[in-house]
Amino acid sequence: MAFVSSGRNQALQNIPLVARLGEIAAEFRAAAETRRVFRQTLAELQGLSLRELNDLGLHPSNLRQIAWETALAETQDRKPV
């Protein structure tokens, strides 16, 4: 049986361990920032009254989705190139 490895695994084998750990830490920080923005956005949306949500054209059942999409869009704009 032949062993087949993915391109990602081969690429990871060529990266020094310290560099890979740095990448993992950066990914963790980015995910934590996304979660922070999500929680903050959700809290702000949940603080609105039903009337205010209706004025904005929002329904309370959509708040989590809206907060998540906002957090992803906002943190992707901050990623270094």
Whole-prediction pTM value?
A: 0.71
C-alpha–C-alpha distance, residues 35 and 29, integer Å: 10
pLDDT tens digits for range 38-62: 999 999 999 999 999 999 999 999 9
Inform me whether the pLDDT recorded for 65 exceeds 80: yes
Give pLDDT, residue 80. 58
Q: Label residue 12 by pLDDT band (50, 70, 90).
A: low
pLDDT in tens, 23-39: 999 999 999 999 999 99
